[in-house]
Every structure is written in structure tokens, then in C-alpha cells.
Structure 1
């Protein structure tokens, strides 16, 4: 169906609601004034013109309310200037209501009541005739003000939530985009060193690297991945590093149950990479890495044997990257503990309903 069809249908429904509401208001107004008018011919003859007049007055006040609301919706925001909006909307509509009531009521009196003229009716009486509907207009303007404020507040809340969601997604994607070049750069550096040491090791390294990078590409658009996938990746990553370091690197992966648990993708890769980058790894001082589960937490531990010379880092990713991603995904935060013997990081294991 075309857009014009929906527009026509919307206009038609709005018009129907407008007519039904104002017909109902007019009927109630006249019926309260003369409840017996519906049960006699003479009463109906009096009821009908009064009903038509009441419908005309109610419709005029309603149309004015919509126009005033629509005008100020474009000019003044309820969110930014609520006091100014309330004052100008109320004053404009009440002034409109009084002028319309003054014209319609006095015109009706002059046309339907025999012997009444502008001179004998008097300006003071004509002015008073416009006050009663204006008091009713106070209720009408309250309805329009409430309706307008609620609509704008709802739209502002939805817009803020959408912007928040888009901002979080943008931040999270930006954090994940740091991983690929960082990981590839360090892997190529490692491969560069291996090429001169051992062509066989270099070939094994390339094969293992292709498997690992396939996983990196698969999860780069995910916010969370199953814990088991991360553990499989960690196993492959550490196996890759063993090609280079051989017996100088030892690792243990001890997991009770990975079912129903999730992690931000590549969290383990960042921690393992930091451990290997910043610690001495040699036959005399082999590096030991342990990945272990304790309840709903995953601990990544390594023997603390920092290098004496600082290596150049690539973009400052690592622990800060993981902490920021957790902050965007969960109320839980990683914990970092360091002492003279050990460096360890606690990663809360997430569940989908916690996200």
C-alpha cells in the first residue's frame, strides 16, 4: 500500500475521532442544560439548535487547541524551556478561546433571541458571555499541554536512548577494531624473527596463524562469544607461541564447565599477549601461564618476571581495552592483582541475560 493511502487513512481516522469527541461534548453540554428536551417535540426543537451551537463552539475550541499546540511545538521545546512554553501556550489559547466564545455566543444570542440587539445587550453583558466557555477552555488547554509535553518527553527519551545505544555500539566497535591490526602486527613481528631462526617453525607458525586469524575475523562483529570458543582460541594461540618459545613457555587450562558462559571476544588473546610481551621467557626463567575457572570467574595468571627494558607498545590496548568493553556490556568489572610472584586478572563470566 502506498504512503498516500496511509496518510489518507490517518486523516480519516483523526477526523472521525474529532467529530465523535465534539459531538459527544456538545450532546452532554446541551443534555445537562435540558435533560427533558429529548422527550417532546417542543424540546427537540429547542435541543437541536442548541446542540448545533454547542458542537460549533466545542469544535472551534478544539481546533484552536490543536493549532496552538502545533505552532508552539515548532517554536519552543518543553524540554529546553518548560516555563516559557507553559506560559505562552496557556496565554495564547485562553485568549483565542475567549475571542471565539465572545463572537460565537453573542452572535448566537443576537440571532436566536427575539428583541435582543447589540445596544440593549450591552458590551459588559457581551463580555461576560465569553467567560464561561473560557473557563471550560482551561480544562481543554490542560489536556493539550499534558498531551504535548508527554509526546515531546517520550520522543526525547527515545531519541536519547537511541543515541546512547548508537554511541555504545560505536565505542564497542572502535575498541574491537583496535584488536585486528594490533594482533596482526605483533604476529608478523614474531614471524619475522622466526624466518631467520627456522624455516620449519615459520611454516608451522603460518599455518597456526591462519587458523587463529580466521577466528579473529569470525568474532570481530560479536559483542559476546561462548567461553568455550575463547578457550579453544586460547589453546590455539598458546600452541602458536610454543612454536617459537618451545619449553620456555608452559601453560595450563583448567575449566570446570564452560556451558552458558560468555566473554567479550578476544579477551584471552589480549591477556596472553600481554603476558608474553612483558615477561622474560627463557630456558632459565620459563614463563608459566594458567587459565582457571573459579565459580563464575575466569582467572588468567602468569608468573611475574617483568623484562628489565620496556618494549614499545602498540596503541595502548590490552587491559584497558578489556575493562572498557566490560563497562559497555555489564555492570561487572575485571579485577587485576599483582604481587612479586604473580600477575593475575579476573574476568567475570557473563550470561546472556546479564548483558
Structure 2
């Protein structure tokens, strides 16, 4: 039942509204005879349906070209005048066509007819344009608010998972194993391991609520994180870090960690087949690439990490995360943002 109402709602509304329009715009002429009333209703329905479907098309064209979030004022102006222009044109064309069909030709006094219908067209067009623009603006604003809230919840979920993954028993077990061996074999390295581990924890806790961090902050964080991974995986992980020391800009916090985790999670790592991870600055992006060593029984991927980065970027920038994959390599390009 609901899909029927949704599909035929324009026609249902036209049937309801057309009699009122017919009586109002005919100046009572529609009530003089049944045939006049029927013609007036059909006339009003023709105007109503062309306005509905025509302006829906106009809206979709404008909506695909101009974003509510990035250019709201431009979209309001373009949408308002586009709808007004189409509405005026459509009303005049419909009226002229139906006048020719019903009365067998154009009006005797075409100039007077044009002025009268032009006034009606302008009144209806401006009314329709105002209503449609207002409704669509508030609908888009509401959708944007819902999407922003949803993204915040997803970000909180990721932050929670990030902290849990770092303090879960498995993570602590691996860390304690590494420390146990280092304390006996290399006490100085054990101290460095603890220092870098504390930096990772501190960074995660201090920056979990920030939208952006400086390039320098994220660079220091990923260096600490890679240090822990190198100690853990030893020769099974080869890291090539080529980051411009003087690079300026902003990054999504912990985005590089997500990309590194993604590479480790989805590839085999062993001394026989080491994972080769390369992080480098290229123009205004940070490229994180690795050789593909997918396991035979590839685990199901939720895509949570990469989707999280994409959505966070979409909220604050028109630049996105670029993914390039070949038969042998996987590369993610994270944009370096500038604050104007």
C-alpha cells in the first residue's frame, strides 16, 4: 500500500488540488457547467503534473552539480531561479497549448492573454520555487545533520576499537613477550620500546577527539608505531620511510596507522615472504604502499578502517582517499590538507 501511495502521490495530489485551482484561477467560470468544471480540472492537472515532474527533473540536475554542504548559497540561488524559469515557461506553454486545443486557436487578443497568463505564471512560479527550495534546503540540512551524527558515532566506535585493540590481552601478550626478550638481550632497546609504546598511547588518547592534526605530529606518531612493529616482526617487515621533514599541512589523526594496520591485517608476513611497506610524501599526499601477499583463505574484510578515513575526509574536505591496486601492489594516497 505504501509503495502505491509513494508512486502515485503526484497524481493523487493533482486530483485533490486541481478542483481548487480550477475554481480559483477561472474566477468561478468553472462552476457554470459540468463540462467547464471537467475542462478546468484537467487543465489544472496538466499544469500541476508538469510542475511536479518538471521541477523534480530541474532539482536533480542542480543537485548533481552543486553541493548543499560546499556551496549552499549558490545552490539556493540557482535552484530558485531555475525552478522559477521552468515553472513560468511550462505554465505558458501548457496554457497556450490547451487554449489552442479547447478553443480551436490562439486567443483573439493575444497580448492581453499573454499579460494575464504571464502574471499567473509568475505568481505560481515564485510560489512553487519558494516552497520547493525551502523544503529541499531543510531536507538536505536534516540529512546532513543525520549523516554528521552518524559519522561521529562511527568515529567514536573506531576510537573505542582502536583503544581496545591496543590494550586487549593479545596486544599486551605480544608486547610483554617482546619486552621479556629485550630485557635480557638488549636492555637499552627495551627502554626505547617502552618509551615509544607510551608515545603511541599518549597520542591516541590526546588526539582521539580532534578532526585534524599537524603533519609533524602524525609523522612522529607513525614513526613510534612503526618502531613497535619492527621490533615485533623483525625481518618479516621491511619499512621504507621517505617523508619530507619540511612538509607542512594537516592530516586526519591516526589515518596513517589505519593504513599500516590495513596492510598488515590483509597480507601474509614471514621471513620467507616479508611484507614490504613504503610510506612517502608525493606532492600533496602521503602514499602508503605494500606488496600484495594475500593469504589463500582471505578473511572477510569489513572495510571499516578505510571507510572511516573516507567519511572523515568527506566531512571536512573535497579531497578523498585514493586507492590504487595492481596484481602485485596496493597503494593508498592520503591527502595533506591545508587550513585557509
Please report the TM-score for the alignment, with normalisation by the length of structure 2.
0.53
How big is each residue's C-alpha offset from its partner over 1:29-63, in whole Å with a ceiling of 9 and x where there is no partner?
xxxxxxxxxxxxxxxxxxxxxxxxxxxxxxxxxxx
The answer to whether the 8 Å contact 1:326/1:332 transfers is yes
- Of the three residues 343, 349, 353, the one matched with 2:330 is 343
TM superposition shift of 1:159: 0.5
Query: Taking structure 1 as reference, are residues 309 and 83 closer, same or farther at Cα in structure 2, changes over 3 Å only?
Result: closer
Work out whether 1:258 is the aligned partner of 2:247.
yes
The answer to whether the 8 Å contact 1:333/1:348 transfers is yes
Range moving further from structure 2, 212-221 or 292-301: 212-221
Query: Taking structure 1 as reference, are residues 184 and 308 closer, same or farther at Cα in structure 2, changes over 3 Å only?
Result: farther
Work out whether 1:193 is the aligned partner of 2:125.
no
DSSP 3-state at the match of 1:186: helix
The answer to whether the 8 Å contact 1:191/1:205 transfers is no
- Of the three residues 8, 11, 23, the one matched with 1:91 is 23
Please report the TM-score for the alignment, with normalisation by the length of structure 1.
0.52
Unmatched segments (≥5 aa) in structure 2:
1-8, 29-115, 184-188
Distance 1:321 1:211 in 2: 23
State the partner residue of 2:72. Answer: none
Query: Taking structure 1 as reference, are residues 164 and 173 closer, same or farther at Cα in structure 2, changes over 3 Å only?
Result: same
State the partner residue of 2:70. Answer: none
When Rg is computed on C-alpha atoms for both structures, the one with the higher figure is: 1
Query: Taking structure 1 as reference, are residues 333 and 195 closer, same or farther at Cα in structure 2, changes over 3 Å only?
Result: closer
State the partner residue of 2:36. Answer: none
State the partner residue of 1:113. Answer: none
- Of the three residues 117, 136, 139, the one matched with 1:157 is 136
Work out whether 1:168 is the aligned partner of 2:129.
no
TM superposition shift of 1:230: 2.5
Distance 1:176 1:316 in 2: 14
Range moving further from structure 2, 186-195 or 81-90: 81-90
Distance 2:306 2:277 in 1: 16
Distance 1:323 1:90 in 2: 52
Superposition pairs for residues 6-155 of structure 1, below 5 Å?
Answer: 81=13, 85=17, 88=20, 91-92=23-24, 145=124, 148-155=127-134
Work out whether 1:215 is the aligned partner of 2:196.
no
TM superposition shift of 1:316: 4.0
Query: Taking structure 1 as reference, are residues 144 and 263 closer, same or farther at Cα in structure 2, changes over 3 Å only?
Result: same
Query: Taking structure 1 as reference, are residues 215 and 164 closer, same or farther at Cα in structure 2, changes over 3 Å only?
Result: farther
How big is each residue's C-alpha offset from its partner over 1:219-267, in whole Å with a ceiling of 9 and x where there is no partner?
444444433332222112112223323444342332335323x333322
The answer to whether the 8 Å contact 1:287/1:302 transfers is yes
Query: Taking structure 1 as reference, are residues 91 and 162 closer, same or farther at Cα in structure 2, changes over 3 Å only?
Result: same
Superposition pairs for residues 224-263 of structure 1, below 5 Å?
Answer: 224-256=212-244, 257-260=246-249, 262-263=250-251
